[in-house]
Amino acid sequence: MIRKRWNPFAVLMLLAFGLGQLPAGAAAKPAVLKTHPCTVAHVGAVMCGSLAVYEDRSLGSGRMIRIHFLRFPAKMAGGTPIFFLGGGPGEASQPLIGMPGPLLPSLQRNHDLIFIDQRGTGASHPLSCQLFTSTQSYFSAGLPSEAVRACRKELRANADLNDYGTSYAADDMDDIRAALGYNKISIYGGSYGSQLGLVYLRLHSDHVANIVLAGVDPPSAKGPLQTAQAAQGALASLFSRCRHDALCNQHFPHLTKTFTSVLDQFASGYRKVSVHDVRTHALVNVQMSRTGFIDLIRHLLYSDETLTLVPLLIEKASHGDFTGVGAINVLFSKSAQEHLQFGMLLSVVCSEEMPFISRSDVLAQTKGTWYGSDGLAQLRDSCAIWNVKSVARAYIRPIRSAVPTLMISGTADPATLPSNATQLLDLMPNAKQILVKGAPHEIEDPCIDAIVLAFYTAGSVSKGDTSCLQHIERPPFATSMPPMFSH
């Protein structure tokens, strides 16, 4: 049920909104900035820095935490610095340094690039939870209740779990902007990072030159509520694409029917799956939940590279072979545990989103979908354990701004609905939405890089050629399992 940006072969990025209180922006003044030269693997010399801020910004006193960041200086002066924001919620921004393609080197020619680990993530007082402690825990429905309860108890010894949300994170970000001597900044936010970018825009609009949002998740979307509809649309897009693809249709001619037959195997809510134990590596049987199976398929639809496996996985599962499903599920869960701070995620989701999702909302948005409402019910149970305060309803108000904004949406995004960005167009007169037909949550293509680079160079949406969108190519569907998942 948790919206994440996944890349199972690199770093998991993921989908939600942040905590915090309104109004914000009038918090404690920046503390002394600490910086030092450092080296980043495969990148080279950069500047590492951190800034001490109050954990509870509303008090202006008490416990202080340090917000860490990396600064890549521009090769040549001229452009506004660009702040890159991580996904999740719960992911640091520094993994974005590994973004494929030439976009970052191209931007660095004229722009300082800043990567901030948001409070509660990365090196910035991380709220880490070890939720998956057994092989079975990777396959159960929702987050393990006892593990959530134990993590809350452990984290509360050194953190107030109410103080790790988006509004406070936006104010931290502005403190770093001021400490570095920047007047105006540009922003790049994908998935949950798009929400942090929008909240910063609401609280500190005078300091924003322009902003790029990908996989747009505004506060008003109430993130988890859209998961069922987004997954339904992404699956329908996949099935349609397979029907019109000669290779896919040849190997998997009745994919929709085959998928529903697999779901029938979960009539009891669970299905036995054989996997290698995460500790002993011996083959063991676990019970995989129906919700867990669908959520795994949904996460595979996040990127072009992983969605190519989905028809094959469905076909094999229809014959009782869940070997690939089990192996990939373990890989994804391990990646989540390593790269995602679940404590921060729960502080965000349970204070900003779940309090504003009514039972009638759930019925309206999940009725008739394969995903259903179980994921929301499980998340609500986790929030009852996490027990953080709700933010004010004002937090989910639509955001209005005249700042130049480029929004990028894939029409087959399984995490965020393209309509999120479309609805913002009426409130943001200098915004433009790029709809990428058939694209998933993570859109990685030279065409998109070129459009983003042109936007930052021009500083507005008035210029820029988007004709390349008609020529984006996608990888072929897999007809055999990669060796790492085949046994």
Return the number of other C-beta atoms located less than 10 Å from residue 145's C-beta. Answer: 15
Beta bridge partners of 274: 285
pLDDT at position 487, please? 57
DSSP code string of 279-292:
TT--EEEEEEEHHH
d(CA 208, CA 62): 30
Q: Which amino acid is at 69?
A: F
pLDDT at position 6, please? 34
Burial environment of residue 75 by CB neighbours within 10 A (0 to 12, 13 to 18, 19 or more): exposed
Sequence-distant (≥ 6) Cβ neighbours of residue 6 within 8 angstroms: 12, 13, 14, 299, 300, 302, 303, 306, 332, 335, 442
DSSP code string of 36-84:
EEEEETTTEEEEEEEEEEESSTTTT-S-EEEEEEEEE--SSS-SPPEEE
Q: Which domains does the chain have, with CATH numbers?
A: 1-487 (3.40.50.1820)
Is the alpha carbon torsion for 138, 235, 290, 219 positive or negative?
positive
Q: pLDDT tens digits for the chain (487 residues)?
A: 334 443 433 333 332 222 233 334 444 454 589 999 998 877 778 999 999 999 999 998 999 999 999 999 999 988 999 999 999 999 998 777 877 678 999 999 999 999 999 999 999 999 999 999 899 999 988 899 999 999 999 999 999 999 999 999 999 999 999 999 999 999 999 999 999 999 999 999 999 999 999 999 999 999 999 999 999 999 999 999 999 999 999 999 999 999 999 999 999 999 999 999 888 889 999 999 999 999 999 999 999 999 999 999 999 999 999 999 999 999 999 988 889 999 999 999 999 999 999 999 999 999 999 999 999 999 999 999 999 999 999 999 999 999 999 999 999 999 999 999 999 999 999 999 999 999 999 998 999 999 999 999 999 887 778 999 999 999 999 999 887 776 5
pLDDT at position 291, please? 93
- Tokens 């988890």: give the residue: 224
pTM: 0.92
